Amino acid sequence: MITVYVANDGEKHPIRLGSAAGTFNGPVDGTPTSNIKAKVSKTNREIGLRPRLVVLSREEEGRVLYRRVPCLTPSKFNSVAIGGTVTYSGKSWTCIGKIAEDY
């Protein structure tokens, strides 16, 4: 699904998300005001916008699972605390890290 990512400067960018990440963030109002797409998997060598991410972890059946999930608004990013528990994809996850927005 394509939705809106609100950058730290207030600019709105299009971003493609899976349904679980969209549910984690909730709805974002507005339409994109920029043609620059936010890309969750952007590397440091690519030009573009990497969104704010939280790194989530949980143990399941003896394995540790990790997910990097974008936060579409600064307020959502600030509301997730490292060491805190969040619900993602219907399950309880622990936030083990946060990655700031990067152009």
pTM: 0.89
CA distance 4 to 13: 6
Indicate if the pLDDT at residue 13 is higher than 90. yes
The structural domain count of the chain equals 1
Structure tokens that stand for 16 in this block:
């493609």
Range of the domain at 49: 2-99
Task: State the pLDDT confidence band at 47, using cuts at 50, 70 and 90.
Answer: confident
* Statement: residue 51 has pLDDT above 90: yes
The average confidence (pLDDT) of the chain is 93
